Structure 1
Amino acid sequence: MRLLVLGGGQLALMMSWAAARLPLDFVVYDPDPRAPAYKYAIKASDPLREVERADYVTFEFENVEWEVAEYAHKLGKLRPHLDYLRVKKSRIWEREALGELGVPTPRWAVARDGAEAMELAAKWGRAIAKVPSGGYDGKGQYLLPRERPPAEGPLLVEEYVNIAREFSIIAARSEDGDVYFYPPAQNYYVQGILVWNYAPAEAPPEAYRYVEKILEWRRYVGILAVEFFEDRSGRILVNEIAPRVHNTGHWTLETDASQFENHVRAAVGLPLRRPRALAPTAMVNLLGVASPPIRELERLGKVYWYGKAEARPRRKMGHVNITADTTAEAIAKAREAMRIIYGRKFPELVLKNYGSRQ
């Protein structure tokens, strides 16, 4: 079998680790010649030709070349369905799709421009304006009325949610409809970027029902991540979906069937594997770190390094997974890891203001 992955970043890199023990050719296409996944994958030079050669095609993130993904879909090779990638091209389309499925999200509206966005914020009290496309890890988001959104529109404007906590569910679905839910993870963000999380956490039954609706919409194949807000009144709201392997599921590398393995397996038509080992685990991202203190961190957990060409502020350079006998112990060790990595910046990475992220 031959699997083509569109995108060659750290997510494709970790998929390549999972694919290494399977009898398949793992091919990656990325315009960046220094893409991390090229260390372990076959490098594709002509993506359309590679689509024709591949038995199956998947993607590691949403900003892949549309014409390549569309061609793979037309040939019946793309996993998951193209419509999941299509709705991620615009936050507005994503909100529309979730609304049609009956999945609750923060109240939202579309503003023609920045001035209209400010009018909505005045009506609602506070709001979040989001650029419809291109934003990730907190980019392209503006807290209104404190920050000024772009003058030109359109903009997605959402109510300001008083967040009690944020959690996510990673789900796997095979081509024959078998579904597995990994234990939920509780997530901690600073300025829109995930800094650390731990699993298992709690999730109410309705959260699983919402994930199931999204999976069944176009008969999903692969790993799907769904990020949730729980507000101070107990409302459960979907913040966004990710039709791919996801940062909030990196902790699953410490199981015997990670999200990366199950995504590859589902994409090539193999049955899912259910993890038998699920220890309490915390994950800490290495953000903007050029050279992590490996010796100190390895005393706490396992370091995963992505091998990116250069470190930049907020860039995900790697992560640390920490397993323990109890969730409380995993959390304590994660906090110690953050002290080691970030030093004086540590408190803001733990004691954050939940209301700052949407």
Structure 2
Amino acid sequence: MRLLVLGGGQLALMMCWEASRLPIDFVVYDPDSSAPAFRCGRRAVDPFAAVEEADVVTFEFENVDVEVARYAERLGKLKPPLGYLLVKKSRLEERAFFDSLKIPTVPWRRARGWEEAVRIAEGMGRAVVKIPAGGYDGKGQFIYPREAAGFRGYGGDLLVEEYVDIRREFSLVAVRGEDGDVYFYPPAENFYVDGILVWNYAPTKAPEEAYEYVHRLVERWRYVGTVAVEFFEARDGRILVNEIAPRVHNTGHWTLETDASQFENHLRAVFGMRIRRPRLPPAVAMVNILGLSFERLPLGELEALGRVYWYFKAEARPRRKMGHVNIVAGSVEEAAAKARRVLSLIYGREFPKLVMRPRGG
């Protein structure tokens, strides 16, 4: 079985780790010769030829070459289907997709340029203005009016969302097989700084409607593989979908501590294999290592608390995901306490500087 993965970042790397236990020839296409997944997978030079040679093609990230993905779709090899990738290419398309499925989101409007965005945001009082393309980890989004300078002068369409007072953020990671079987990992509660995930823990509680919204999303075009859906719980009780990630996802990295992670089940699903229901630890937490080189980590102290995963990226920069730490515990309270200790060990006085956006960016 030959798999071609479009994108060679840490998600492809972790997929490759899990593929080592399955009879999969793991091939990666990424223009960046230093991409982490090349430490494990075989590098494809010509992506279109690699599509022809593969049995299945998948992607680890949204910002991949759409034409290669479209070619794989034409050959009947792309999983999940192309529609989900195209939706993620634009925050505006993603919001329209949710509306078409009657899935509640933060109230939003399309603005034709920055001046209209300002008028709409002023009408909302307090708003979040987002550049539609290329947005992840808090990039390209600005709180109005405090960060209005960030999008001033932008000439294309913008997404303007009403600012919602949020009680908590949680996510559901699920996997859907070709036969329609859907498995949900336990919900995770997530903690962000300036739009980037810093740590999370599982399990937490999620209302029944959240599961229903995920079912609607994956059934729309018969999704195959692992998917993550992020939610807001507003202080007024509303459950709102924030975004869909049609791939393996950072909020599910803790599943590496089970015997069937999100990465393994993604591979099983795209090859038409049976989804595994994993044995789950009582509680687990995950802490992202952001903006730090390996040499700066207190490795011994971290390993006394959890398991360190390293992504082998060439350069450490603020906000860049360099690795993560998974913590298994007997209770959610213990997992959260250990996660806070890990945060202190990793960042110390540099928190939250290493996870804040550069001014105006």
TM-score > 0.5, shorter chain as reference? yes
CA 1:347/1:315 → structure 2, altered by over 3 Å: closer, same or farther?
closer
Give matches, 1:280-319, under 5 Å.
Answer: 280-291=283-294, 292-319=297-324
**Measured at CA, do residues 307 and 130 of structure 1 come closer, stay the same or move farther in structure 2, by a change above 3 Å?**
same
Q: Deviations over 1:251-273 (max 9, x none)?
A: 00001100000001111111100
Write the deviation string for residues 97-136 of structure 1: whole angstroms up to 9, x where unpaired: 1100111100000111111111111111111100010121
Distance 2:137 2:320 in 1: 10
Structure 2: distance between partners of 1:93 and 1:277:
35
* Matching residue's letter, 2:52: E
After TM superposition, where is structure 1 displaced by more than 6 Å over at least 4 residues in a row? Answer: 347-350
Q: Which of 225, 246, 254 does residue 222 from structure 1 map onto?
A: 225
Q: 1:343 aligns with which of 340, 343, 348?
A: 348
Q: Which amino acid aligns with 2:185?
A: Y
Instruction: Provide the aligned length of Structure 1 versus Structure 2.
Output: 351
Match of 1:264, SS? helix
1:147 Cα deviation after fit: 1.6
Which residue number corresponds to residue 258 of structure 2? Answer: 255
What per-residue deviation string (whole Å, max 9, x for no partner) do you get for residues 61-87 of structure 1? Answer: 000001100000000000000000000
Report the identity percentage.
Answer: 66
**Contact 1:113-1:150 within 8 A present in 2 as well:** no
- The CA deviation at 1:10 is 0.2
- Per-residue deviation, residues 223-274 of structure 1 (Å, max 9, x unmatched): 0100000000010000000000000000000011000000011111111001
Q: How much has 1:347 moved relative to structure 2? A: 7.6
- Which residue does the alignment assign to 1:355? none
Aligned residue in 2 for 1:150: 152
What SS is found at the alignment partner of 2:266? helix
Amino acid at match of 1:342: Y
Aligned partner of 2:275 among 252, 266, 272: 272
Q: Distance in 2 between matches of 1:348 and 1:27?
A: 36
Q: Which residue of 2 aligns with 1:120?
A: 120
Give the corresponding residue for 2:359: none
Distance in structure 2 (CA, Å) of the matches to 1:67 and 1:347: 38
SS at structure 2 position matched to 1:341 = helix
In 2: Cα distance, 1:277 partner to 1:211 partner: 21
Alignment partners' CA distance in 2, 1:147 and 1:85: 29
- The answer as to whether partners of 2:128 and 2:162 remain within 8 angstroms in 1 is yes
Aligned residue for 1:54? Answer: 54
* Structure 2 counterpart of 1:97: 97
Equivalents in 1 of 2:124, 2:40: separation in Å?
50
Q: Take 1:282 and 1:234, find their aligned partners in 2: how far apart are those partners?
A: 25
Q: Which letter does structure 1 place at the counterpart of 2:62?
A: E
Q: State the superposition RMSD in angstroms.
A: 1.4
What's the counterpart of residue 336 of structure 2? 331
The answer to whether residue 210 in structure 2 is matched with residue 177 in structure 1 is: no
What is the TM-score with the length of structure 1 in the denominator?
A: 0.96
Gaps of 5+ in 1: 353-358
Q: TM-score, normalised by structure 2?
A: 0.95
More deviation, 290-299/52-61: 290-299
After superposing the two structures, state which structure 1 stretch, 337-346 or 37-46, moved more.
337-346
Between 340-349 and 24-33, report the one with greater CA deviation.
Answer: 340-349
Q: Determine the structure 2 residue equivalent to 1:356.
A: none
Pair 338,349 (structure 1): closer, same or farther in 2 beyond 3 Å: farther
For 1:210, the aligned partner's letter is: Y
**SS of 1:339 mapped into structure 2:** helix
The runs of 5 or more residues in structure 2 that have no matched partner are 357-361
Deviates more, 1:179-188 or 1:145-154: 145-154
How far apart in 1 are the matches of 2:351 and 2:135? 26
CA positional deviation for 1:278:
2.9
- What amino acid does structure 1 have at the position aligned with 2:92? I
CA 1:348–1:166: 2 relative to 1, 3 Å: farther
> Aligned AA for 2:256?
L
Partner Cα distance (1:80, 1:134) in 2: 20
SS class of match (2:180):
coil
**Range that drifts further, 147-156 or 24-33:** 147-156
Secondary structure of the 1:299 match is: helix
User: Residues 349, 278 of structure 1: CA spacing in aligned structure 2 closer, same or farther, 3 A cutoff?
Assistant: farther
- C-alpha contact (below 8 Å) 2:200/2:251 kept by paired residues: yes
